[in-house]
Amino acid sequence: MPVVLVAAFLVETWRRCSGPGVRALRLLLCSIALWAGGSALALLAPDRATWITFEQVAWIGRIGVPVAWALFALQYTGYGDRVTRRSVALLALPAVLMLALVWTNPLHDLVWSEVRMVYTQGVAVGILSKGPAFWGFLAYAYTLVLAGIVLIMRLVFTADHLFVDQGVALLLGVSAPLFANVASVTGAVPITGLDMTPYMFTISGITYGYAFYRSDLLDRVPATRQIGRTAVVRNMRDGVIVVDEDDVIVDVNPLAQQQFDLSKDVVGRPVRNVFDDPEFELPVGEGTVVWSSDGPFEYEVKVSTLTDQHGRQLGRILVLRDITDRTNRRQQLQVLNRVLRHNFRNDMNVIDVCATQLVDRLDGEDAELADRIRSVARDLSETGTKAREIERIMSRRHNDPQPIDLPSLVTRQLDTLRHEYPAAEIEADLPDELEIHSTGILESVLQNVFENAVVHNDSQQPHVWVRIEGDDSQVEISVADDGPGIPQQEREVLVKGTETPLEHGSGLGLWLVNWGVTMLGGDIDFRDRVAFGRDDDVSGSVVTISIPRQGPTVHSASGQPPVDAD
């Protein structure tokens, strides 16, 4: 019965499977078949010499089972990189020597010194006087089997229950023959001298078959998970250093070795030797710090704790990211930003003042040209103001959402707009009260949306409608106008999120609104106005901003402190 089950399973592995551990599993199944088959034939032996021959055949399987099981456990659980020709040779050498001793036993009696045949209930049982080689190989075999069991058990308890069915089936399949073998060796069997191990291979065949057909034993292999994790660490573009609770290095990935010119001997040394900077200190527990190494390099060091499946802290993981280019770009942007803020703004003010004086002194076409210069200078100055506003809202000055009475905020802004643009007709449909939790970014976003609806309206009397609607989770603010509408190209640029030399927006206002709404955790929609408000004229556009009533905490897009604005 064991031979039939194992043979059927072996055929299936040849027909359907390939991957980590398959070859070792085939070797294991072949070894089980030889062990069970040889032992079954020995029971039918008519004499002592025939029994010994079949027993020697069974020993081919006996020496193969522990070796194949250990190799299978290593490959199946993701440690196949340790299965090399050298390691296989070292594992198999004691088994090969033992097989040689079995087949040459009459010359030295190291495996058994006496065979006494007993015929019980029609079967032949050989009672052996076991020699030193037998006990030595038994210890070796048990060590391999138990090592494989530990690997599978570790998989069961640490793989987030992904491979529990497979692991339990494999453990049952190996534990039953192991206990039977211990009982046979110690004599705790019904028939003295009878090896019960082959009979327990029936359980192995059943459990392995269950794991194969019901739990995808060789299709969903945990080695993929383990190998994948190792590959991620080895191939990731950041350096990784693993330390124990005493901040002693236990592992480094290849990039960290290359970045800091570390040898493999660094394992076992304190991690402070890597940084070689007496003023630099790692954060206690978890955190992120910046370390400037010798030369122009700067690294962001992110420290996180390493725990086991029970939550016990085992050490810490240091991820070192090279931020030299990012730091250099930030410094370059700071310089450019300073030049634009100071020189550009001051020069535009000078141009504006000079152009205004020219308008007063000139007539005709010359005055029109001067007025054009003044208009462009003011537009450019306004662009600089928008840039500073974007810088402000993208910084970390608005992290904590505060309660805001939205209708009151909108009313104040619309009153200001009416004062600045008295020709505009502004209507508002607002609830009496609507409290939300948001940040100062919302004020900038609404101010720009309201202002755009008036400023970019080419009619003599711009008409703007504002409506607020909301429920327990979401608030919608709709702003409609009767102007020329937002060009399709502008909308497409905002949807794509990028600009090209041929596709770009005309200014920063819409970008400010788009980025601000995104940072508030909301959405923005642009569409043509259709029967919005009381006017029958359907020209213009509608901007609808949807934001959560409980605003998210806002973080800087760059993760860096803001550049000082003045």
The number of CA neighbours under 13 Å toward the Cβ of 200 is: 18
CATH 3.30.565.10 correct for 397-566: yes
What value does the mean pLDDT take over residues 44-64? 90
On the question of pLDDT at 66 being above 90, the answer is: yes
Structural class in CATH, domain 236-322: alpha beta
The reported pTM is: 0.51
Confidence of residue 557 (pLDDT cuts 50, 70, 90): very low
Residue with the two structure tokens 């082959």: 198
Report the range of poorest mean pLDDT among 260-264, 273-277, 403-407, 552-556. 552-556
Q: Indicate the residue type of 151.
A: L
The overall average pLDDT reported for the chain is 78
Residue with the two structure tokens 């551990």: 21
- Please tell me the predicted confidence (pLDDT) of residue 564: 42
On the question of pLDDT at 559 being above 60, the answer is: no
Confidence of residue 496 (pLDDT cuts 50, 70, 90): low
- Please tell me the predicted confidence (pLDDT) of residue 235: 59
- The Cα 359–Cα 372 span in angstroms is 10
On the question of pLDDT at 153 being above 80, the answer is: yes
Q: Where are the domains of the chain?
A: 2-225, 236-322, 330-394, 397-566
What value does the mean pLDDT take over residues 207-221? 66
CA distances from 119 to 36, 57, 129, 310 (A): 19, 20, 17, 55
Report the range of poorest mean pLDDT among 243-247, 334-338, 407-411. 334-338
Closest CA to 200 of 232, 235, 173: 173
Closest CA to 53 of 67, 33, 37, 30: 37
Give the rounded percent of residues in the chain with a pLDDT score beyond 70.
75
For residue range 83-142, list pLDDT tens digits in order.
888 889 998 999 999 999 999 998 998 998 888 888 877 788 888 888 999 999 999 999
Give the rounded percent of residues in the chain with a pLDDT score beyond 90.
16
For residue range 504-543, list pLDDT tens digits in order.
344 566 777 877 888 888 888 888 876 544 445 567 888 8
What value does the mean pLDDT take over residues 245-274? 77
Q: Which stretch of DSSP H or E encloses residue 526?
A: strand 523-528
Beta strands of 43-180 (E only): which ranges?
Answer: 112-120, 123-130
